[in-house]
Every structure is written in C-alpha cells, then in structure tokens.
Amino acid sequence: GAGKSTLVNVLFGLYRPDAGQVVIADEPVQLTGPDDAISRGVGMVHQHFQLVPPMSVVRNIVLGAEPTRLAMVDLDFARDQVLALQQRF
C-alpha cells in the first residue's frame, strides 16, 4: 500500500530509512532499535494488539513497560500514570 507500516517501523527503529531522516525534538536521530526509540519517547501499539482478558486495564496498558519499585511491579504508580494520561487525552 501506501507505506504506513513501513513508516511506523522506521519511527520505532525496526527499519532504517533508505532516504530522509527521523527527527525527534528538532534533532535528527539514527534509531538503533525499539529500545532506542522508547528511550527517546517513541512507542508503538501493534496493529493486531490484543488485551489480556484476566488482567486489569492498568496492567494491560503498562504491559511490557511495567514501572517497578524494589523489583516489584508498582501498580499504584502505574495507575497514577494511566489516570494522568486519561486526563491529558
């Protein structure tokens, strides 16, 4: 098609662009992979995203990027972050 998936994969560091550049916060960057993209504030929700039914809304939202405190998932912090995002958007 139109290249939407390819563009998203470039922005998430999965593909390197053949031409042009990725610019984040007015700075050209060369993303080395998803971890690099995430550290720069770029995330991706995959097209076929599925929730995990037995998990809470908060746990589903932070799945894969769970905040921790003392090696335990910090659900209070996660919930506060989710609520802040809800208010923002």
Residues in the chain: 89
pLDDT in tens, the chain (89 residues): 888 889 999 999 999 999 999 999 999 999 999 999 989 999 887 776 778 889 888 887 887 777 788 888 888 888 898 899 889 88
E-strand stretches of the chain: 22-24, 27-29, 68-69, 72-73
Q: Which helix (H) or strand (E) holds 71?
A: none
Structure-token match 């995002």, residue found:
85
